[in-house]
Structure 1
Amino acid sequence: MSEDDSTVRLPGRRPESSRYPDDLPDQGFGYGGDYPSDDPTFDPGYATPESDRTLTLPGQTPPGALLTPPPPPANDRLLVHVVWELLLVVLVAALAVFCWRVEPAMFHSVGLRLIAVQAAALGLLAMAVSVSLRAGAPNLAVGAFAAVAGLLFARAYEHNLPVALIPGLGVALVAGLALGVVVALLHVPGWAASLVALCGGLVATTLIGHGSMVTVADGAPDPRRWAYVWFIAVAATSVLAGVFGLVRPLRRAIGAFRPVADPAERRGIGAALMVVLALTVSGGLAGLSGVLSAVQLRTAGGPGGMLPQLLLALGAVLVGGVSAYGRRGGVFGTMLGVLALVLAVQFGTMRGWSGPATTFGVAGGAIVLGLVVTRLVEWGGRRRENARMLGV
């Protein structure tokens, strides 16, 4: 093969004049002095179009192509929460009737006030779990915050309620703030960072109480006198928080820290500030719950109550309809879950069952049921694709 035959001629390029003789007749293949008239690429003035110069692989969008924006995220449907909360009302009512038939003493004046105070204390702790869960940073140290706050209140109380509240609530708020700062700065999962706070709470209760229970001094106000006020106030706060959670901009702002694609990718300064605020509020609610429990029980201290209280609060939140992913939540569900768990635990106490076995059994069963509820609200709360296409 000659040197001339080994040369590849590209479309749009004129061969050198010495390559082929000009006296050969034109046969339509580019020999001779003229180029085929029916092929524009043989025109010396031909320029390769921009689209022909770009190699586009399958699945890629050519440069300059108009991109169709993705459809907006579908709205959550509240029907599943409404249905589940109606079922919860029926379940709580049935449980109350059963307890009243078997143990009528539970609903006498003293027993009913005790249930109201316990529901208020557990409701505060459940709200502490819920706000951190909705913010995408579950706080597993709420039981520790409550125990330390109650212990500090019992130590500081000397017939001066405001002064005694400062150490307990102050430490709980500062601990929640510190936890939020760690989670925001390091951008780590809230549950992992809160385990460190849980260990710190165990150490603090041991050092402050020297491993023993601390009795609240005489003269401390009895919350059972205002039991119904406490319960109504906590229930109203929980419902109001649930209503605020229905507002889309507020709900998205609170959950801005939740991961979308890459969990390790930072979500921005706004998300960091929101998670700090959420964990601070969570710590304050847990501290108030611990103080209320200490005043009601007249004792505080010991690490034994940290885990049971955490599990009960988590079970109440999940049973109430707050998704374990933190994306969805109802309005009345949390307090309904709290009432169900308080009734179950109090019934076991009245029957003389083992305290730890009853508490852990009720909490474990509630968490299992709550995980099923999470799948239910995630499945039913998301708009179906065909409904989105129909615009309903």
Structure 2
Amino acid sequence: MSQPPSPVVASFAPPPRPPSARPEGVSAHLGWEAILLVGVLATAVLVASNGTLFQGSMPWWRIATVGLLATGFALSLRTATPNLAVGAIAVLAGAVYAEIAQDGGSGVLAGAVAVVVALVLGLVLGAIVGLTSAPAWAVTLGGMAVAQSITLGMLDGLSIPVPRSTAGTGMAVLWTFVFLAVSIGGGVLWLVPGVRKVLTTNRTLDDPVRYRQTNLIGALAGLGGSSALAGLSGVVVVTYLGAANLNGGENLPYAVAAALLGGVSAFGGRGGIAGTALAVTLLVFANYGLVQTEAPGWVVYYLPAALAILIGVVVSRMLEARSGPFTATPPPAVPGLAPPPGPVR
């Protein structure tokens, strides 16, 4: 006599975890930042033993100006809207500052106007990216050309002199602390779940052409904020040099290198706390050491940034692997249409 088949017991998988923008991989970023800290200390000891690293204001001005620019670019990377125009916007802001200051205007007012000009340009670029879903790198390349054109028209090949900062090392250290506060403070703010949830929607998990209203917020914050910080960097550069000219765009490779080497994801949405600040310091110290060795110009000014960018890309990919799948809030469903696909894991 055959036995009746055993009843089939349905096995239920646990319900899927709702999508979120949680801080995956923070421990991996902190581990990398510890390695960077060791590198900074070792480089400082090595360079200081063979030169005058901590004498004079030049290294601190360099950390402050490159750091503000790098912090701006890092912000745009975190929001997945990389702003390739930050270097050109910094030069434009410096020209605006010099133009107003040269005519007898207040230095504070001139600096404020210059930063506002940079902010407005960044917000325009952010609006284009957010409303069209166009890649930020393409839009900001256009913004770079616009900024360079305006700067060229203002300077007309000339250099605009301005009163140079007379505060010396003290003012340089002050601006360095401003950069550290903004960079590290921004990294801490990024740990807040609500901040990440709002600003990481441009790291696309579905069709990149699809219009998403939430992307506009991230694009405005990323491109507007990065442009404002670039503008502040440009103002600090001009106050240190005592003149505005067309040179200064060479800081862009160092800003990109510091953000990537510091652990900010090239894919957007992720980043550590103090990585950008540590990477900026490491690159500036290493560059200062190369200057002291009287190495060729191409080695001093371009090779460190190039190598750091390539290493930073590898670091970014390794941190992504250690952090696990990225999750983000999916775009809202459209009435009458199939719901959008869930997050890719």
TM-score, structure 1 as length reference? 0.74
In structure 2, distance between residues paired with 1:184 and 1:266: 8
Cα displacement string for residues 132-155 of structure 1 (whole angstroms, at most 9, x for unaligned residues): 111111100000110011111112
Q: How does 1:229-378 map to 2 (within 5 A)?
A: 229-267=174-212, 269-302=213-246, 304-306=247-249, 308-378=250-320
In structure 2, distance between residues paired with 1:182 and 1:227: 36
- Does residue 184 of structure 1 match 2:127? no
- Does residue 225 of structure 1 match 2:170? yes
Contact 2:122 2:228 in 1 (8 A): yes
In structure 2, relative to structure 1, the CA distance for the partners of 1:184 and 1:230 (3 Å cut) is same
Contact 2:90 2:234 in 1 (8 A): yes
Aligned to 2:47: 99
Match of 1:142 among 77, 86, 96: 86
In structure 1, distance between residues paired with 2:140 and 2:131: 14
What letter matches 1:130 in structure 2?
Answer: A
Contact 1:223 1:292 in 2 (8 A): no
In structure 2, distance between residues paired with 1:223 and 1:319: 30
In structure 1, distance between residues paired with 2:168 and 2:256: 24
Runs of 4+ with deviation above 6 angstroms: none
Equivalences, count: 311
**Structure 1 residue 301: Cα displacement:** 1.6
User: Structure 2 regions of 5+ residues with no counterpart?
Assistant: 1-11, 327-345
**Structure 1 residue 250: Cα displacement:** 1.4
Q: Structure with the greater relative contact order (CA < 8 A, sep ≥ 6): 1 or 2?
A: 2
In structure 1, distance between residues paired with 2:166 and 2:97: 13
Contact 1:129 1:138 in 2 (8 A): yes
**Structure 1 residue 223: Cα displacement:** 5.8
Q: Identity, % of aligned pairs? A: 34
TM-score, structure 2 as length reference? 0.84
Match of 1:115 among 55, 59, 62: 59
**The residue matched to 1:305 in structure 2 has which SS?**
coil
What letter matches 1:336 in structure 2?
Answer: L
Contact 1:205 1:211 in 2 (8 A): no
Q: How does 1:45-194 map to 2 (within 5 A)?
A: 70-72=16-18, 76-103=24-51, 105-108=52-55, 110=56, 113-157=57-101, 158=104, 160-194=106-140
Q: Larger Rg: 1 or 2?
A: 1
User: Structure 1 regions of 5+ residues with no counterpart?
Assistant: 1-65, 385-392
**Structure 1 residue 368: Cα displacement:** 0.8
Contact 1:148 1:301 in 2 (8 A): no
**Structure 1 residue 358: Cα displacement:** 1.7
**The residue matched to 1:257 in structure 2 has which SS?**
coil
Cα displacement string for residues 40-93 of structure 1 (whole angstroms, at most 9, x for unaligned residues): xxxxxxxxxxxxxxxxxxxxxxxxxx9985444585132211211111111111
